[in-house]
Amino acid sequence: MWLVRPAQPDDLDQILAIAGTQSARLSSTLPKQSDALAYKIEHSLASFAGKISTEDDPPRFLFVLENTGTGEIVGTAGIDARAGNGQPFYNYRRDALIHASHELGVSRRVEVLYPSHSLTDNTLLCSFSIRPELRESDAFELLSRARILFIADHREWFTQRVTVEIQGVQLDSGSVPFWDSLGRHFFDMDFETADQYSGQLSKTFIAELMPPNPIYVTLLSEAAQEALGQPHPMTVPNFELLQREGFQPGCYLDIFDAGPVLEARTDSLRTLVTSHPKSLHAANRDLGETCLIAAGERDQFRCTLTPVSETLEDTLKVPVNTWKVLNKTAGDRVRIAPL
């Protein structure tokens, strides 16, 4: 069975392996360095335990997708309770100005990218990665949506709005048109190098070196203009899943690759709205509609897929196998959401 649970120190090597297979991505919050990742896991565990509440280093949660049969880790997903993690969270806001002259009788719409910190402190879904072969599977949906179930059960830890950054356009050669047309001029380094620094230091660190003034879209290269707000083809399944969840692309873009930034009102997320707390009971048969089921508070949180044979009022009947994966027993409270 597929299980989503908090990342543990023992998972370090397997997570590193997953991070290593990812192509360069500045926006990734999954470090590729062992030390940085070890710290992230440690910080995540403290966050799950409810021990982290400081403003300058807010809670960050890292989940893993485990194949319970083999014990193998095949994906990761994260939530940063406050985007920017106590530092400014950088985006470009795509906006427009009308340059008009009454005297000359002309008017022209001019698109401008404004550096913005507006999304700072929103809850951020991040660190999403999964084995390529699982991209079309139920496990993919489980990994992504398990986070929303966690938010549903720990609502007070998160903010009114949730943000997700989607990876932008990157060519097969590894070059990123938006970076090449903009960021590269200010760093004198290619995307991959900047990405490495971003992993070692922080995204904010790199972002603070970006030009502070607004950028006229018309002065970007054509390839860069075409990439604005476009998801990387590889991320399209995730993009679509998030849109079904209720996330919408707004006016914000990633400052490095111009990938879309999605936003949603936390309380309107589909998983949050359609999920219900139930009490756990045994089902006789291993049949029924497959649903997401989550249980356990804080660091005991676990989420998996299960067939549901019957739901009556407050009662939920699922196979005992599912109980075991969730570490729960009859009568315990769980949360269920349709797949």
Could you list the active site residues?
232
Exposure pattern of 69-95 as b/e (b: 16+ CB <10 Å)? eeeebbbbbbbbbbbbbebebbbbbbe
Residue among 27, 145, 149, 174 nearest 75 (CA)? 145
**Size of interface with another protein, in residues (CB under 8 A):** 28
Name residue 162's amino acid. Answer: V
Structure tokens at 49: 């335990």
> Residue 178 CB, nearest distance to another protein (Å)?
12
Nearer to another protein, 185 or 244 (CB): 185
Contact region with another protein (CB under 8 A), list: 49-57, 62-70, 179-187, 284-292: 179-187
- Chain positions 180 to 199 lying near another protein, rule: CB under 8 A, are 181-182, 185-189, 197
Q: Which of 96, 201, 236, 287 binds another protein (CB under 8 A)?
A: 201
The phi and psi torsions of 43 (rounded to 5 degrees) equal: -65, -40
Nearer to another protein, 220 or 326 (CB): 220
Triad 19, 249, 258: Cα angle to 5°: 55
> Residue 215 CB, nearest distance to another protein (Å)?
8
Name residue 137's amino acid. Answer: S
> Residue 259 CB, nearest distance to another protein (Å)?
20
> Residue 182 CB, nearest distance to another protein (Å)?
7
Q: Is 156 in the site for another protein (CB under 8 A)?
A: no
> Residue 24 CB, nearest distance to another protein (Å)?
16
Q: Which of 50, 211, 233, 338 binds another protein (CB under 8 A)?
A: 211
Residue among 319, 339, 338 nearest 330 (CA)? 319
Structure tokens at 97: 């100005």
77-116 footprint of another protein as x/- string (CB under 8 A): ----------------------xxx-xx-x-x-x-x----
Could you give the 3-state DSSP secondary structure of residue 59?
A: coil
Spatial separation of the C-alpha atoms in residues 212 and 158, rounded to whole Å: 30
Contact region with another protein (CB under 8 A), list: 131-139, 152-160, 201-209, 327-335: 201-209
> Residue 54 CB, nearest distance to another protein (Å)?
24
Q: Which of 17, 49, 96, 219 binds another protein (CB under 8 A)?
A: 219
Structure tokens at 214: 């607004």
DSSP secondary-structure letter at 230?
P
Nearer to another protein, 214 or 237 (CB): 214
Q: Is 282 in the site for another protein (CB under 8 A)?
A: no
Spatial separation of the C-alpha atoms in residues 138 and 19, rounded to whole Å: 21
Longest dimension (CA), the chain: 81
> Residue 273 CB, nearest distance to another protein (Å)?
42
Q: Is 265 in the site for another protein (CB under 8 A)?
A: no
Q: Which of 86, 88, 214, 288 binds another protein (CB under 8 A)?
A: 214
Q: Which residues contact 255 (CB under 8 A, 6 or more apart)?
A: 90, 91, 92, 115, 183, 207, 210
Nearer to another protein, 101 or 160 (CB): 101
Q: Is 279 in the site for another protein (CB under 8 A)?
A: no
Contact region with another protein (CB under 8 A), list: 205-213, 282-290, 314-322, 326-334: 205-213
Nearer to another protein, 101 or 173 (CB): 101
Per DSSP, the residues of 159-220 read -SEEEEE------TTS--HHHHHTHHHHH-S-HHHHHHHHHHS-HHHHHTTS-SS-EEGGGS
Strands 289-295 and 260-265: unpaired
Q: In the complex, which residues of this chain contact another protein (CB under 8 A)?
A: 99-101, 103-104, 106, 108, 110, 112, 181-182, 185-189, 197, 201, 205, 209, 211, 213-216, 218-220
